[in-house]
Chain A
Amino acid sequence: DIQMTQSPSTLSASVGDRLTITCRASQSISSWLAWYQQKPGKAPKLLISKASSLESGVPSRFSGSGSGTEFTLTISSLQPDDFATYYCQQYNPYSPPWTFGQGTKVEIK
Chain B
Amino acid sequence: QVQLVESGGGVVQPGGSLRLSCAASGFTFSTYPMHWVRQAPGKGLEWVAFMSYDGSIKYYADAVKGRFTISKDNSKNTLSLQMNSLRTEDTAVYYCARGSSSEPPSWGQGTLVTVSS
| Residue A49, interface by CB 8 Å | yes
Q: Max chain B CB contacts within 10 Å: which of A49, A53, A91, A102?
A: A91
- Contact pick for A34, options B33, B50, B105, B108, CB 8 Å: B105
| Interface residue tally for chain A (C-beta within 8 Å) | 21
- Contact pick for A100, options B47, B59, B104, B106, CB 8 Å: B47
A98–B101 Cα distance when bound, in Å, is 13
- The tally of CB-CB contacts under 8 A between chains A and B is 56
- Contact pick for A98, options B47, B52, B108, CB 8 Å: B47
The dominant DSSP class at the A interface is loop
The dominant DSSP class at the B interface is loop
Partner-A contacts on B (CB < 8 A): 33, 35, 37, 44-47, 50, 52, 57, 59, 61, 95, 99-101, 104-110
B31 CB to nearest A CB, Å: 13
